[in-house]
Amino acid sequence: MEDDARATLEPRTVTLSDVAQKAGVSISTASRVVNERAVVSEAKRERVLAVVQELGYVANSLARSFRLGETRTVGVLVPEATDPYFMHMIRGIEDVLVPEGYALLIASSHHQPDLEVRYCQMLAERRMDGAILVLISQTLPRLDRWFAASTPIVLADTLSNDAIHDCVLDDNRHGINLLVDLLSNLGHQSLGLVVGSSDIIAGRERETAFRERCAHGNLRPLIWRGDYSEAFGESVADAVVRSEATAVIGANSQISVGLLTGLQRRHTAIPAELSFASYGDVANAELLTVPPCVVRQPAVETGREAAHRLLHHTRDRSQEKPSVVLRLRPELVMRSSVGPPAK
């Protein structure tokens, strides 16, 4: 008896058939309105939508996924979702994919290669409609073993040499050249670069561009290499100050935050004693005592372009197409952390 009573009290799930019957249309018409799959007269569309709201109908996305062979879900893997750069990139991805009816499944590898591998495998197992990946290790050659051949993959802030996957990333050479030229024009002859592992394409390209631009301008390059963390940036502050460098560049925003912290701890006067610049904007830069000069990365645009490339492939899987490598140019933001070298 208790089970019977409980069953009568539980509300019955509203079905598409209920919506169609109350709106006075066929189930196929109601389905077309709910799923926005075909043109329906404005009168019928408004009638169906009014009933949907009245009855509280919620589409069964799981059943729809089985029926259509799609999940309307895109996997996004980044090294650190709390990093402002990747937060803005994800915002750009959302700007494009959410209006198209996609949900994002976001994962952070926390700069750990083993975790990156595990998340790639998990995203592949969940049969996403596509994936946008920012890779920090040698995971790339294994992607095609995990993801189905029909699953579109776009690489962001990552470069592929296999001519299979579209890539959207910074023009790292242009960004470094902007900073080196600025400091050179101010009179600096010895420039420092604090950079992470060369296993990551962005770090490798920025270090290479830094060396080449310094050579072009007869400048002395000084390089400190570690990982892409605030802790590493802070740890090298003493070495930077003791060196011959009269200006230093942090190769990404996290290194730069740590480096600034270390320099402030040492009471280093910026830019009177040492000019400072960052590849990548620093959060709340305008609130700092000396706002840092930066190369601002097009993070939101990178996310949007990656999402557009993914949509392009999800809409047309009829044939293989040559991969696209899209380089986006960062811009120089002048602030008061740079000046002529100390005399």
The answer on 227 and 189 residing in a single domain is yes
pLDDT in tens, 297-321: 999 999 999 999 999 988 876 556 6
| Predicted pLDDT at 139 | 65
pLDDT at residue 268 greater than cutoff 50: yes
Domain count, the chain: 3
Q: What is the pLDDT of residue 161?
A: 67
Please indicate, yes or no, whether residues 160 and 177 belong to a single structural domain of this protein: no
Instruction: Answer whether residue 343 is part of any domain.
Output: no
Whether residue 341 lies inside any domain: the answer is: no
Highest-scoring range by mean pLDDT, 22-31, 51-60, 126-135? 126-135
Mean pLDDT across the stretch 185-194? Answer: 98
Whole-number Å distance between alpha carbons of 249 and 190 = 11
| Euclidean distance between CA atoms 237 and 60, whole angstroms | 56
| Domain co-membership, 121 together with 32 | no
CB distance 311 to 269 below 8 Å: no
Residue 342 lies in a domain: no
Q: Indicate whether 276 and 321 sit together in one domain.
A: no
Residue type, 274: L
d(CA 136, CA 201): 8
State the chain's mean pLDDT as an integer: 87
Contacts of residue 287, defined as CB under 8 A and 6 or more positions apart, other chains included, come to none
Same domain, 214 and 231: yes
Residues 164 and 179 in one domain: no
The answer, yes or no, to whether residue 226 has pLDDT greater than 50, is yes
The residue with greater pLDDT, 35 or 168, is 168
Residue 151 domain-assigned (yes or no): yes
Determine what percent of the chain is predicted with pLDDT higher than 90. Answer: 54
pLDDT in tens, 63-120: 455 455 567 899 999 999 988 899 999 999 999 999 998 999 999 998 888 899 899 8
- Is 104 in the same domain as 164? yes
Sheet holding 130-133, edge to edge: 103-108, 73-78, 130-133, 153-156, 166-170, 325-328
In the structure, what pLDDT confidence band is assigned to residue 5 with cuts at 50, 70 and 90?
very low
Same domain, 307 and 164: yes
Is residue 262 within 8 A of residue 233, CB to CB? The reply is yes
Whether 183 and 217 map to the same domain: the answer is yes
Do 218 and 291 lie in a common domain? yes
Residue with the larger pLDDT of the pair 288 and 153: 153
CATH classification at residue 308: 3.40.50.2300
Same domain, 178 and 292: yes
What is d(CA 139, CA 111) in angstroms, rounded to the nearest whole number?
A: 12
- Please say which residue of 15, 38, 59 terminates a domain: 59
CB atoms near residue 284 (< 10 Å): 9
What span, in angstroms and rounded, lies between the C-alpha atoms of 108 and 83? 10
Which tokens belong to 15?
A: 């079905």
Range(s) of the domain holding residue 232: 172-297
**Looking at the domain assignment, is residue 65 inside a domain?**
no
Min mean pLDDT across 81-90, 252-261, 281-290 is at 281-290
119, 109 Cβ separation under 8 angstroms: yes
Whether residue 231 sits in one domain with residue 151: no
> Is 153 inside a domain boundary?
yes
Residue 49 exposed, middle or buried by CB count within 10 Å (0-12, 13-18, 19+): middle
**Is residue 283 included in any domain, yes or no?**
yes
Q: Reply yes or no on whether the pLDDT at 62 is more than 50.
A: no
Which CATH number does the domain housing residue 41 bear? 1.10.260.40
pLDDT grade for 1, boundaries at 50, 70 and 90: very low
Mean pLDDT in residue range 10-18: 71
Q: Among candidates 259, 201, 202, 251, which has minimal Cα distance to 223?
A: 251
Residue 9 reports pLDDT greater than 80: no
Final residue of a structural domain among 13, 33, 59: 59
